[in-house]
Chains A and B, each alone.
Chain A
Amino acid sequence: MISIQELSKFYDDVCAVDKMSLDIPEGQIMGLLGPNGAGKSTTLRILTGYQPPSKGTIFVNGLDVRKEALEAKKLIGYLPESSPIYPDMLVYDYLDYISQVREIDKSSRNSRLKELSGLCGIRDVMHKSVSSLSKGYKQRVGLALAMMSDPKILVLDEPTSGLDPNQIAEIRNIIKEIGKEKTVIFSTHILSEAEATCDRIVIVNKGRIAADGTMEELKSSARAGQKISLSLLHANQKDAEKILGEINGVSAIRCIEGDGQLDFTIDAAGDLRAEIYHAVKNSDWILLKLLQEQKSLENIFRILTTEGN
C-alpha cells in the first residue's frame, strides 16, 4: 500500500530523515514512535505531499507522491500535529468546505457530515466556531476532516497529544474502529498508546529506523537485555553477590537488605533463571522469589533511542 524508498530529508545541513525504507501493507495500524526531532513528523509530511523529499520517494498505491501528487492526496486523509483548523469558521462550515474540496456529491454531503459528526462525537459543537473549541474537540474535528472522503489511508500526527485520558481512550477506539478496514499510520510518543492500538510499531531515532515489528517481537528482542529480581533468606550479602556475579551473562547486581531477607535486581544478557536457580540450590539459602520482569516498551524505547548518544 505504502512504500517508502530510501527516503532522505535535509534541512540545510541537518539530516531529519536518513535513507529510510519501509513497506506498509494494506489494513495495518502502524505506530511511528520516536523521541522529539527523530523525523516522525517530517516522514508524515513527505508522505502527505506537504514537503518534498531531498532524496528517495514514497509510493502510495503505486503512485509517486511527488509526480502524481494530486491522485495520491485523494487517497490520503491527514491530520497535522495540533490540528491547525481555520479558527474563524464554524465547525459545520469548515467540514462542509472540506467536503466540497474532497468532491463529495451534494446529495450525500449532508448524510456524510451527520455520519462523521456522530462517529467523532462532535454533534454538539457543529454550530460553534473553531476558536471556541477545547483542544480535545478541535482534535476530533481534525479527525473528522481527515476521514471526510473515507480515504484508504489515514495519517495522524500525534492525534492524542494534549487530551485528557477519557478523550485519549475515545480517540484510540476510533482509530481501532477505522483500522479494521483501512491503513492507519500515526505518530506518538506515548508508548502505552502504541502498545494498545498498533499492529506494528516502528521506532525511529535520528532519522533511521531503530526497530520494526509487532509488540511481542520488540519485547523479545535480545538487544534490550533482561531484568531478574530475586529474593533470598538466610543469605550473606557478600557471598551471594560473589556467587551470582560468577554466573556467565550477569552484567550488574543491586542488592537491598530488609526484613532479614536480601532483594536482588540482576541485569542479564539473556534468560538466566535456570543458572540462578542452580546457584541457589548449591548453597543453603532459601529462595523466596525468582522473577524475570516483563520488559516494558518504555525500556526498549529508551535503550533503542539512546544508543550511540
Chain B
Amino acid sequence: MSPRSISTVFKREFQSYFYSPIAYIIMTIFLVITGWFFFSTFFLAGRADMRDFFGLLPLILAFTIPAITMRVFAEEYRSGSFEILATLPLNKWEIVIGKYLASHLLTIVMMAPTVIYAISISSVGSLDWGPVFGGYLGAILLSGAFTAIGIFSSSLTHNQIVAFIISVSICFFLTIIDNMLILIPGFLIGFFQYLGTGYHFSSIAKGVIDSRDIVYFLSLIFIALYSSYLVNMEKR
C-alpha cells in the first residue's frame, strides 16, 4: 500500500463529486434540513447550546451519507469502468481507502458550514464551547463510520438505489437502536446499547471524550472497509 497511490485515487474521487451536481444538491438538502429543524425550536427553548442540533444530526446523517456513497462502487461496476480501475497497478486496499477518504472529506465539507450556527449562537448568548467541540469530533467519527458502511453497501451491488437502501437500513438501525432498548430482553440491553452509535455519539457530544467511544467508531470504520475490501477481492 503506497500513500502516493491512495492520494491519486483520493484526488480523482473527490473531484468527481463536483463534476456533477450531486455534491451540491446533497449539501444543500443537508443544510436546509438541519437549519430548519434546529432553528424552529431554538428560540422557543431559549438555551444557548447546540444540544438539539447534535441530537438530530445522527438521524439526518443516516440518510444523507448513503446518498453520497451509493455511487462509489456501484456506478463503477455498472459502467464497467471498474475493469480499468482493477487492472491498473493499484492494490485493492488503495482503491477502497482512497475512495473512503474522498467520501469522508465530502461529508466533513458538508457539515462544515454548520459551524456558523455555533458562532451565531455565541454572539447572542454565552455558549459552552466544550460540548460543541466534542459534538463536532463525534460528528466526524460518526460520519466516518456511516461513510464506511455506505462504501461497503455500494461494493455489494451495481445498482445505486439498492446500495442506498442497504446502507440507510444499516445506518438507521445503528442510530435508532438506542431508542428501542425497552423492547429488548434485560440481559441483552448492555450489548445492544454498546452496539448502537447513539450511546457513543451522545457521550462524546456531551464533551466526554472516552477512548472506548473512539475505539468503537474506529473499529466500525475498519470492519466496514475490510468487508468492502473482501467483497472487492472476491468479486466474480
Contact = CB atoms under 8 A, between A and B. Distances in A.
B83 A84 contact: yes
A48 interface: yes
Interface stretch (B4-12, B123-131, B222-230): B4-12
Contact of A84 (B4, B5, B80, B88): B80
Interface in B1-26: 4-5, 8-9, 12, 15-16, 19-20
Interface string A177-204: 0000000000000000000000000000
Given A80-B83, A84-B83, A101 B90 contact: yes
A76 B87 CA distance: 9
Contacts of B79: 84, 86-87
Q: Which of A51, A73, A86, A145 has the most CB of B within 10 A?
A: A86
B87 A88 contact: no
B81 interface: yes
Contacts of A73: 87-89
B84 interface: yes
Contact of B86 (A49, A82, A102): A49
Given A70-B89, A74-B89, A101 B83 contact: no
Contacts of A215: none
Contacts of A103: 4, 89
B236 interface: yes
Contact of B87 (A49, A81, A82, A97): A49
B81 A97 contact: no
B122 interface: no
A89 interface: yes
A88 B20 contact: yes
B219 interface: no
A100 B98 CA distance: 14
Contacts of B86: 49-50
B91 interface: yes
Contacts of A84: 79-81, 83-84
B78 to A, nearest CB: 10
Contacts of A98: 88
A167 to B, nearest CB: 21
Given A88-B16, A89-B19, A50 B8 contact: no
A71 to B, nearest CB: 8
A73 B79 CA distance: 22
Contacts of B89: 70, 73-74, 101-103
26 contacts: A45-B83, A49-B86, A49-B87, A50-B83, A50-B87, A70-B89, A70-B90, A73-B87, A73-B88, A74-B89, A76-B87, A78-B87, A80-B84, A84-B79, A84-B80, A84-B84, A86-B81, A87-B79, A88-B19, A89-B12, A89-B16, A98-B88, A100-B8, A101-B88, A102-B88, A145-B84
Interface of A: 45, 48-52, 70, 73-74, 76, 78, 80-82, 84-89, 93, 97-98, 100-103, 145
Interface of B: 4-5, 8-9, 12, 15-16, 19-20, 79-81, 83-84, 86-91, 236
